[in-house]
Copies of this chain bind each other. A is one copy, B any other.
C-alpha cells in the first residue's frame, strides 16, 4: 500500500517533470537543479556566477525554501529574475511547483535557469524536476565522508562543486581529504566533473564558469 502510493506520487511528479523538460527544450533553456545540505553555499555560488556571466548568459533562479524569501532577495539584488517557492515544510521541490514557477519567468529572454532546491542532501535526489542536469554542492566543513554516506545524489549529478575551500587554510581547522572525496564521488559516478571552489573568494570558480559555457553550447 505504502509502496503503491509512493509510486503514484512519483509518477504524478514524473508527468510534470516531462512537461518541464519539453517546455525548456522548446525555449532552448539549460536548467540545472542545485542540490546540497543546508548552508553549503548554493546561493553564494549562484550570485557570483550571475555577476560573472552578466552580459553573456541570461540567467534566472527558481528558489526553493521551506520558509522565508531570504535567498530570492539575494538573487534579485544581482538584477536576475528569481521566483521563490515556499514548500511550507516539505523537504524537496516537486516538478509541479517548478512548472508553476517556470510560468512566472520570461522564458523567451533566458539561456539558463538554476533551480536552488531545498537544503537537503537526501530527498531532492529522488524527485526529477525536468532539469537538464543535477549539480551537487558539498562544503568542506561538512566532511570528506559525505559522498560515501549520502551516495544517491553524488551518483546522479553531472557536476560536484566542493565549496568553501578557503576554510582549508589555515591548516588544521577543517580536516577534509580532497582526494578521498573525489575518489568516492568518482566511484559512484565516473563521469562527474569535480570543481573545488570558494564562492566567497572566487578561487576555482573559472573551471565552473567554463563548464557552464560548454554546457550552454552543447547541453547533451
List chain A positions with a Cβ less than 8 A from chain B. Answer: 1-2, 5, 9, 37-40, 65-68, 70, 89, 91, 118-123, 139, 141-143, 145-146, 148-152, 164, 166-167, 170, 173-174
Given the known inter-chain contacts A39-B139, A122-B66, please indicate yes or no for A91 contacting B91, CB distance below 8 A: yes
Residue of B39, B65, B121, B152 touching A119 (CB-CB under 8 A): B121
- What are 20 A-B residue pairs whose CB atoms fall within 8 Å in the complex? A1-B5, A37-B37, A37-B38, A37-B39, A37-B142, A38-B142, A38-B146, A38-B150, A40-B142, A67-B151, A68-B145, A68-B149, A89-B152, A91-B120, A91-B122, A118-B122, A119-B149, A120-B120, A141-B141, A141-B164
Name the residue of chain B whose CB is nearest to the CB of A6. B5
Question: A142: which B residues are within 8 A, CB to CB?
Answer: 37-40, 141
Residues of B within 8 A of A122 (CB): 66, 89, 91, 118-120, 123
A37-B142, A89-B122 known, 20 other contacts, Cβ within 8 Å: A1-B5, A2-B9, A37-B119, A37-B121, A38-B121, A38-B149, A39-B141, A39-B146, A66-B150, A66-B151, A67-B148, A89-B152, A91-B91, A91-B120, A91-B123, A119-B121, A119-B122, A122-B123, A141-B164, A166-B173
Q: List the B side residues contacting A148 at CB < 8 Å.
A: 67-68, 70
Min distance, Cβ A77 to any Cβ of chain B, angstroms: 15
Question: Is B65 a contact of A149 with CB atoms below 8 Å?
Answer: yes
Measured between alpha carbons, how far is A121 from B118 in the docked complex, in Å? 10
CB-based nearest B residue for A169: B173
User: Chain B residues near A174 (CB, 8 Å)?
Assistant: 167
Cα–Cα, bound, A118→B149 (Å): 10
A66-B151, A119-B37, A120-B120 known; A170 vs B167 contact (CB < 8 Å): no
Residue of B nearest to A166 (CB): B173
Q: Indicate whether A70 sits within 8 Å of B121 (C-beta atoms), given known contacts A37-B37, A164-B141.
A: no
Residues of B within 8 A of A40 (CB): 142
